[in-house]
Structure 1
Amino acid sequence: MLDDTLKSQLKSYLERVTLPFEITASLDDGDSAREMLALLQDIAVMSDKITLKTDGHDARRPSFSLQRTGTNQSLRFAAIPLGHEFTSLVLALLWTGGHPPKAEADVIEQIKALDGDYAFEVYMSLTCHNCPDVVQALSLMSVLNPKVKTVIVDGALYQAEVNEREIMAVPSVYLNGQPFGSGRMTVEEIVAKLDTGAGTKDAAKLSAKEAFDVLVVGGGPAGAAAAVYAARKGIRTGIAAERFGGQVNDTLAIENYISVLETDGPKFATSLEAHVKAYGVDVMNLQRGDKLIPAAAPGGLIEVQLANGGSLKSKTVILSTGARWRNVNVPGEQQYKNKGVAYCPHCDGPLFKGKRVAVIGGGNSGVEAAIDLAGIVTHVTLIEFGDALRADAVLVTKLKSLANVTIHTNAQTTELTGDGTKLNGLTYTDRISGESRHIELEGVFVQIGLVPNTEWLKGVVELSKHGEIIVDARGQTSVPGVFAAGDATTVPFKQIIIAAGDGAKAALGAFDHLMRN
């Protein structure tokens, strides 16, 4: 089942297992069950702490559970966790076998203290790069707290179940049979939703912190670089991030970051956070800026009020809040989001296997999405507002060579239609003839660029007509002591490497400001 390289790697990991545990498989006569059994047999022979049983009676077949001997741990994989989920499997094996997780001590205590009955089901795809974070978070919670039970379901393996629940985006999480959340979530975010008193306690802890020399707001490449450069100057540095890595987490492949031949977004985001923490930066995750209050007098403290009610103060602030997917803003988009309307073709594409989909947007992202989806779905329709596709010529040539792709240019999307519960089509207007046309579809992928996360700064920091923070050559904004970097600014060419460079520049600008004031 596993090749020799993976077997060697897995065997070295499983040497860290210290406590005995059982793998119990529930199997049927299908090919997937035989594939799962082969995988489990490969695993079982690698450690004398692991016992494999094949007499499971779970309703989901094939599936397997992990249970530490003498505990009530309940963690089940209704999946063959390879691809992006192989790491999730390895971690689940290690944690079940007693290897300590790399999680903050206070988060571990929060998980252990959860009191209630929590039965989670997480639907994922083996090609989804956002799913492992959720899978690993819920796996960890099941290992640490017997009141948390988790089942990890591969949507492609259990297509009928996905269709019955009308799941059209992954990861999708259910708690006690009811929708709990969708999209990438960290263990801290999940615990915060369950521990309702955590937000108030967290806000009080943040407000009690000593003022920083440099406070970075935003944890993408720009924010991470700014924090590292500031901390290397030996000054008190903090970073408040809603989601460390930002949009990088939604990037499948990174092949143009100089000196790194190839990596993926989630891995790159993890490396960013690790680099920042290596310099002793005070990292405050799950924190979103809500209001910026400039210093009352020159040399005074700048205040950043947070969405959870907390407040942070600093001598200088670097804004690196990044951007988010731009909505097409037509009727039906919000109603059918995650019910046919999607934004990540790599994550959600496999859920539309054999179906008809559309891609809105004729730039590189849109054309790449259409090419990828054409290999999965029955038919792809690409909708472009302009009179020609804006993607690179090589991508356009590839797209036009595909037999199951239709391209409409000069097409303005006017509505995403549905039956009240899920999407069933798209309506567009032909901008030349003025005629309105409707396409019957099961999915729509929106790929029309990004919008800066700067709404909370309006009226305080000077913004461009597009909502971007206006900065000078040093990253300085219109407010003394407040700098900015990355995709939220007017700097052209939104690229990871440019954001990182601008983050470093803004940190040096902030340090220069501190020295002169």
Structure 2
Amino acid sequence: MLDDSLKTQLTAYLQNLRQPITLVASLDDSQGSRDMKALLEDVASTSDKVSLNLTGDDARRPSFAITRAAGDASVRFAGLPLGHEFTSLVLALLHVGGHPPRFEAELLDQVRALDGDYHFETYFSQSCQNCPDVVQALNTMSALNPRISHVAIDGALFQAEVEARQIMAVPTILLNGQPFGQGRMDLEQILTKLDTGAADRAAEKIRSKDAFDVLVIGGGPAGAAAAIYAARKGIRTGIAAERFGGQVLDTMAIENFISVSHTEGPKLVSGLEQHVKDYEVDIMNLQKAVGLVPARTPGGLVEVKLENGASLMSRSVILSTGARWRNVNVPGEAEYKNRGVAYCPHCDGPLYKGKRVAVIGGGNSGVEAAIDLAGIVAHVTLIEFDNQLRADAVLQRKLASLPNVAIVTSAMTSEIHGDGSKVIGLSYKDRVSEAVHRLDLDGVFVQIGLVPNTEWLKDSGVALTPRGEIEVDQRGETSIPGVFGAGDATTTPYKQIIIAMGEGAKASLSAFDYLIRLPTAETQAAA
């Protein structure tokens, strides 16, 4: 199951085990069980601290638990943890085996202190780049607190269970049998939901902070670059992000980041976060900005209000809040989000194996989604509002070569239909004949571009375009002195990662230039 290279790497990793662990497998006669047995035998062969027990009695088969002699850890995989989840397997082995997790001590203490019985179930797919963060966080919690257990379930392997529970997006998390969350969540986010006092403690901590020289709002590529450039100037720098990494976390393949032939969003974000942490930057994650108050006097402090009721003060501010997927805004979309309406074909595609789906959008994202889905589902209908596709020619040629894809242009999506629990179809109007057509479908993937995350700035005095983009000049300056903008939230053309990074660096340099040109206290007094 594992090649020699992986076995060699695993052998090196498992030298960090501090206590023996046992893999307890629950198998049947299926091919999946045979594959799992082969995988577990390979894992057990790499360390004398790992033993294999093939007499497990769990109802989900194939599955296996990772246990330790004390019986105070319960981490289980239902399905093969390969693809994006192989790292989750390695980390689970290490953490159950006593190797300390690489999280801040404060978070780990918070996990150990949780009072109550928590049984988590996470549905994942091997192609989901958002799932590992959730799986690894919950596995870590299970390894640290004996009253927490977790099972990671491969939705593609347990399709009957997925359909019975109406799981239509991954990752989907259940807690004690009830819905807990969907989409990417890290350890800090999970703890915030479980520990009701965490938000209040975070707000109080923020209130006690001194004013910053440069405060970056947003933790995507633009925000990270801005924070690094500011910190390198030796000035007091902070970064407040609703979700560090932003939309890049949801990006699968990145092949146009110069000098790196191929990477994936989560990997790039991990590098960004580590680079920011190399400097003295005050990182405030899970903090959503809801308002901005300009300085009352030239060179005064700008106030950024947060959702938790606290405020941050800074001599200059860089707005880099990025963008999010644009909604179609038709009846049925909001009602059936994550119940057949999806935005990540890489993550959720495996849940639609053998089914009929539609992709809305004929740009690069839409055509790439249709190509990916065509290899999984029974049939894909691509719906484009314009009279022609807008994707690169090479992608259009690939799409046209696929036998299970239909392309509909000059089509305006008018409604997404459901039966009360899931999507069952879609209606669109032919913009030429005005005839209305209905498709019977199991899923709809929306890929129609981005909308800037700037609603919170509408009453701030920051000039926005009719589309909501922050108006910036060639230096990244906004309409308010001391406030700068960078990245996908601004009027800068071409929403690309590499451009956002450059714009973040430029805005930071402009903010520094603004600060050093402010009159000193002595000059103000003399005036």
Q: Could you list the runs of 5+ residues in structure 1 that have no partner in the other structure?
A: none
- Alignment correspondent of 1:490: 491
Moved more, 207-216 or 44-53: 44-53
- Alignment correspondent of 2:144: 144
Distance 1:229 1:348 in 2: 37
- Alignment correspondent of 1:502: 503
The equivalences for 1:115-126 within 5 A come to: 115-126=115-126
Distance 2:494 2:25 in 1: 51
- Alignment correspondent of 1:281: 281
Q: Could you list the runs of 5+ residues in structure 2 that have no partner in the other structure?
A: 519-527
TM-superposition CA deviations, 1:233-260 (whole Å, max 9, x none): 0011111111111111111111111111
Distance 2:140 2:71 in 1: 15
Distance 1:482 1:15 in 2: 51
Give the aligned residue type for 1:221.
P
Runs of 4+ in 1 over 6 A off after TM superposition: none
Distance 2:169 2:360 in 1: 17
The equivalences for 1:362-373 within 5 A come to: 362-373=362-373
TM-superposition CA deviations, 1:48-87 (whole Å, max 9, x none): 2112111111111111101122132111110110100000
Distance 1:328 1:503 in 2: 30
- Alignment correspondent of 2:452: 452
The equivalences for 1:301-380 within 5 A come to: 301-380=301-380
Tell me the CA shift for residue 433 of structure 1: 0.9
Matched, 1:24 2:24: yes
Distance 1:503 1:102 in 2: 29
Aligned length in residues? 517
Structure 2 SS opposite 1:67 = strand
Distance 2:294 2:114 in 1: 40
Structure 2 SS opposite 1:193 = helix
Output the TM-score relative to the length of structure 2: 0.97
Matched, 1:294 2:294: yes
- Alignment correspondent of 1:511: 512
- Alignment correspondent of 1:155: 155
Moved more, 169-178 or 69-78: 69-78
Distance 2:13 2:361 in 1: 44
Tell me the CA shift for residue 106 of structure 1: 1.0
Distance 1:474 1:391 in 2: 31
Tell me the CA shift for residue 293 of structure 1: 1.0
Tell me the CA shift for residue 299 of structure 1: 1.6
TM-superposition CA deviations, 1:345-399 (whole Å, max 9, x none): 0000011000000000011110111111111111100111111111111111111
Give the aligned residue type for 2:478.
T
Distance 2:356 2:264 in 1: 28
Matched, 1:247 2:247: yes
- Alignment correspondent of 1:10: 10
Distance 1:63 1:310 in 2: 45
- Alignment correspondent of 2:523: none
The equivalences for 1:100-111 within 5 A come to: 100-111=100-111
Distance 1:183 1:357 in 2: 20
TM-superposition CA deviations, 1:8-39 (whole Å, max 9, x none): 11111111111111111111111111111111
- Alignment correspondent of 2:412: 412
Give the aligned residue type for 2:212.
F
TM-superposition CA deviations, 1:147-198 (whole Å, max 9, x none): 1110100001111100111111000000111111101111111110000111
The equivalences for 1:363-402 within 5 A come to: 363-402=363-402
Moved more, 383-392 or 45-54: 45-54
Structure 2 SS opposite 1:463 = coil
Aligned-CA RMSD value: 0.8
Give the aligned residue type for 1:231.
A
- Alignment correspondent of 2:521: none
Matched, 1:440 2:440: yes
Distance 1:8 1:46 in 2: 8
Give the aligned residue type for 2:60.
R
- Alignment correspondent of 1:470: 471
Distance 1:368 1:361 in 2: 10
Tell me the CA shift for residue 459 of structure 1: 2.6
Tell me the CA shift for residue 477 of structure 1: 0.6
Matched, 1:203 2:199: no
Distance 1:312 1:218 in 2: 14
Matched, 1:92 2:55: no
- Alignment correspondent of 2:180: 180
Distance 2:400 2:254 in 1: 25
Distance 2:293 2:108 in 1: 34
Distance 1:82 1:157 in 2: 12
- Alignment correspondent of 2:67: 67
TM-superposition CA deviations, 1:78-118 (whole Å, max 9, x none): 01101000000011011111111110111111111111111
Give the aligned residue type for 2:66.
L
Output the TM-score relative to the length of structure 1: 0.99
- Alignment correspondent of 2:171: 171
Structure 2 SS opposite 1:111 = helix
What percent of counterpart residues are identical?
67
Give the aligned residue type for 1:55.
T
Structure 2 SS opposite 1:284 = strand
- Alignment correspondent of 1:134: 134
